[in-house]
């Protein structure tokens, strides 16, 4: 199929940037979206124009590197990651607009690549259980109720891609934050630090310039791992408890 691509080109963080239009032919519907961009880049390299920069690594939907706004939708029209999106989701002759994540807390580095290090700093603020290597008790000495462990797993599948932030009109990272709070809060091992964790992770979230949550729900609709909205209720509940406990 033949496509018209409008792609955000930006040399560096200081550059203003803008959309540039490319025509691309010979796209097969078995290609993944990123393989389609590979073909474009090979073509650009031949014609002497610098290839488009975009983040990607596993191309299996699990590392969370890929992150494109496709026609205004985070990760495009399907509920999946950009790398798992295939060209059969598009039509011959279609015009596709490709942009980076848009959020104050994710500044653009170049073209379609943004800086998502704010997520690491939120984890640093408390997204862990303190258990030094070697200090762990025998694994089966603390049973974990199966339903809680299953819920913990379901939300722990968050890949840290940032689509929730990009989709949110407020640029909030509440879904990402709620997923981690819920994961650790559902497990017996996560209890001792539960109050402190939520208080400091929320403080870091706000300090990074992410917006507040007003329950719009765009985040969960865009999330490739289908993290449910109830993790945000859990987050608020845990935060209230923490405040009550003097945090």
Please report, as ranges, the residues that interact with ligand FES according to CB under 6 A.
Answer: 56-59, 61-66, 81-83
Find the shortest distance in angstroms from Cβ 38 to other proteins. Answer: 6
Residue 217 binds ligand SF4 (CB under 6 A): no
Task: For residue 177, report the phi and psi dihedrals to the nearest 5 degrees.
Answer: -65, -45
Among 90, 101, 106, 176, which residue interacts with ligand SF4 (rule: CB under 6 A)?
Answer: 176
- When the beta carbons of 77 and 188 are compared against ligand SF4, the nearer one is 77
- When the beta carbons of 25 and 169 are compared against other proteins, the nearer one is 25
Where b means 16+ CB within 10 Å and e means fewer, 228-247 reads bbebbebbbebbeebeeeee
Tell the residue number behind the tokens 């955000």, with chain if given. Answer: 8
Written in H, E and C, the secondary structure of 75-115 is CCCCCCCHHHCEHHHCCCCCEEEEECCCCCCCCEEECCEEC
Choose the one of ligand SF4, ligand FES, other proteins, none that binds residue 105, judging by a C-beta under 5 to 8 angstroms depending on kind: none
Q: Which residues pair with 5 in a beta bridge?
A: 22, 96
Among 159, 168, 198, 239, which residue interacts with ligand SF4 (rule: CB under 6 A)?
Answer: 159
Find the shortest distance in angstroms from Cβ 75 to ligand FES. Answer: 9
Contact 31, 117 (CB under 8 A): no
* Residue 182, number of CB atoms within 10 A of its CB: 26
Q: What is the DSSP string of 159-187?
A: ----HHHHH-TT---HHHHHHHHHHHHTS
Task: For residue 108, report the phi and psi dihedrals to the nearest 5 degrees.
Answer: -75, 135
Stretch of 44-52, 90-98, 174-182, 232-240 contacting ligand SF4, by CB under 6 A = 174-182
The Cα 110–Cα 11 span in angstroms is: 5
Choose the one of ligand FES, ligand SF4, other proteins, none that binds residue 183, judging by a C-beta under 5 to 8 angstroms depending on kind: other proteins
Find the shortest distance in angstroms from Cβ 175 to other proteins. Answer: 16
- When the beta carbons of 59 and 237 are compared against other proteins, the nearer one is 59
Residue 68 binds ligand SF4 (CB under 6 A): no
- When the beta carbons of 131 and 212 are compared against other proteins, the nearer one is 131
Contact 166, 120 (CB under 8 A): no
- When the beta carbons of 98 and 158 are compared against ligand SF4, the nearer one is 158
Residue 225 binds ligand SF4 (CB under 6 A): yes
- When the beta carbons of 124 and 214 are compared against other proteins, the nearer one is 124
Task: For residue 208, report the phi and psi dihedrals to the nearest 5 degrees.
Answer: -75, -10
Residues at the contact surface with ligand SF4, assessed by CB under 6 A:
158-164, 175-176, 179, 223-225, 227
């Amino acid at each position: 199929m033949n496509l018209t691509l409008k792609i955000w080109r930006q040399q560096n963080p200081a550059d203003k940037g803008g959309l540039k239009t490319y025509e691309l032919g010979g796209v097969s519907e078995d290609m993944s979206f990123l393989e389609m961009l590979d073909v474009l880049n090979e073509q650009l390299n031949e014609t002497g124009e610098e290839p488009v920069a975009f983040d990607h690594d596993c191309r299996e939907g699990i590392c969370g590197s890929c992150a494109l706004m496709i026609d205004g939708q985070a990760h495009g029209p399907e509920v999946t990651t950009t790398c798992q999106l295939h060209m059969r989701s598009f039509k011959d002759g279609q015009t596709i607009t490709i942009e980076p994540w848009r959020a104050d807390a994710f500044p653009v580095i170049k073209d379609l690549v943004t800086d998502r290090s704010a997520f690491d700093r939120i984890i640093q603020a408390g997204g862990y259980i303190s258990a030094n290597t070697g200090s762990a008790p025998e694994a089966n000495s603390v049973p974990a109720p199966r339903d809680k462990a299953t819920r913990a797993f379901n939300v722990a599948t968050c890949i840290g891609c940032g689509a929730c932030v990009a989709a949110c009109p407020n640029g909030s990272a509440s879904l990402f934050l709620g997923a981690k709070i819920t994961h650790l809060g559902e497990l017996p091992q996560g209890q001792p630090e539960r109050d402190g964790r939520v208080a400091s992770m929320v403080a870091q979230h706000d300090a990074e310039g992410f917006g507040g949550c007003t329950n719009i729900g765009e985040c969960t609709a865009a999330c490739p791992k289908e993290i449910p909205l109830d993790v945000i209720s859990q987050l608020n509940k845990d935060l209230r408890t923490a405040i009550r406990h003097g945090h």
